[in-house]
Amino acid sequence: MVRMRDIYLLKFGGNALGDDGMERLCREVAALTEEGVSIVMVHGGGPAINAEMERLGMKPVKVAGKRITDEAGLEVVEKVLRGINAEVVRCLEDAGVRAIGMPGYFLSECRRDGPQTVVDEGREIEVDYGLVGEVVKVDPQVVYDLVDERIVPVIYPVGSDGEQHLNVNADSMAAGIAAGIKVKEMIAITDVPGILRDVHDPSSKIDTVTLKQIDALIADGTISGGMIPKVDACRRAIEAGAEAVRMVNGKDPDSIITDVIKGIPHGTLIIR
Ligand SMILES: Nc1ncnc2c1ncn2[C@@H]1O[C@H](COP(=O)(O)OP(=O)(O)O)[C@@H](O)[C@H]1O
Ligand SMILES: [Mg+2]
């Protein structure tokens, strides 16, 4: 049976949280779940994956914010993400939250990306990402059953097309899950205050942006790199019916997610 619930999906990147950020985020999640808020988490691990690849003499390459991934790269991705996932679950448990870690392929089906044309830095680029995919189908019941028991699913972005595992950008995984479980809100926690008009100027934050404005910001190069899959993810979540999609700063000293969930706006709100 599929029921509608008020589920908040939190996505955070490997760079997003400051030194004590993970503990703080987990404490906020603890307080919110205590109040009955249903939370699902999806995390990435970009910097740790880069570090491990470099340690092994591999060269990390990203185009338009997504990692080009071969078999050896996928092995590193899976190993590093599994480790981070276990740490996140432990941190939640330490904060008193019941949590369960799982890969994306536990509840979704993915399709491998074909060669394609993308826009980065305002320029068109031909790219074949290799063993990279997007979520095409989700089994929402997995999430519903857990959140009904007040258990927080913590998902790491490795998918499968039924034949092989695929690396999925964490924002893309979050968007696919958000669409598949019909979240109320998706909150992308990142290392910038929101979408900036000038990446080097945190005060140039855009408070509210429409999907149409986002297209223009990608075309003129204002939005580039990792911000591209992030805004694509926001678009997918909105088109799937999310009431609100936001981007917030994981290094915010006051409140990472509690304020926005309680209706005090910060970061960037993405609207239709
Ligand atoms: N217009 C923009 N506003 C904010 N950040 C941007 C913009 N364009 C590109 N970026 C980059 O996107 C990065 C966030 O994406 P990413 O590095 O993939 O982090 P995450 O781990 O949160 O996915 C920012 O740190 C910033 O360098
Ligand atoms: Mg990213």
Predicted confidence at residue 18, as pLDDT, reads 77
pLDDT in tens, 49-99: 999 999 999 999 999 999 999 999 999 999 999 999 999 999 999 999 999
**Of the residues 191, 218, 230, which should be mutated to test ligand 1's pocket, given the most ligand atoms within 8 Å of the CB?**
191
Pocket residue to mutate for ligand 1, from 63, 173, 192, most atoms within 8 A of Cβ:
192
Choosing from 66, 88, 171, 190 the residue with most ligand 1 atoms within 8 A of its CB, the one to mutate for a pocket test is 190
Specify the pLDDT at position 2: 43
Residue from 231, 230, 138 nearest 179 by CA: 138
pLDDT digits (tens, 9 = 90+) for 36-48: 999 999 999 999 9
pLDDT at 251: 93
Q: What is the pLDDT of residues 189-241, one digit of tens each?
A: 999 999 999 999 999 999 999 999 999 999 999 999 999 999 999 999 999 99
Query: Model confidence at 1, in pLDDT bands (50, 70, 90)?
Result: very low
**Is any ligand 1 atom within 6 A of the Cβ of residue 255?**
no
Ligand 1, atom nearest to 13 Cα? 21
Ligand closest to 84 (CA) is 1
Instruction: Calculate the average pLDDT of the chain.
Output: 96
Give yes or no for residue 3 having a pLDDT over 70.
no
**Nearest-10 crossing angle of helices 140-148, 170-181:** 80
CA of 226 to the centre of ligand 1 (A): 5
- Answer yes or no: is the C-beta of 13 below 6 A from any ligand 1 atom: yes
**Phi first, then psi: what are they for 13, rounded to 5°?**
-95, 170
Instruction: From the options 2.130.10.10, 3.20.20.10, 3.40.47.10, 3.40.1160.10, give the CATH code of 7-271.
Output: 3.40.1160.10
Closest ligand 1 atom to residue 191 Cα is 25
Would you state the structure tokens that stand for residue 83, as one six-digit string? 């480790």
Establish whether residue 14 lines the binding site of ligand 1, counting it when its CB lies within 6 angstroms of any ligand atom. Answer: yes
Residue 9: partners with Cβ closer than 8 Å, 6 or more residues away: 39, 40, 41, 42, 174, 177, 178, 181, 183, 185, 186, 187, 237
Q: CA-CA distance, 238 to 234, in Å (whole number)? A: 6
| % of the chain beyond a pLDDT of 70 | 99
Q: What is the DSSP letter of 86?
A: H
pLDDT of residue 14: 84
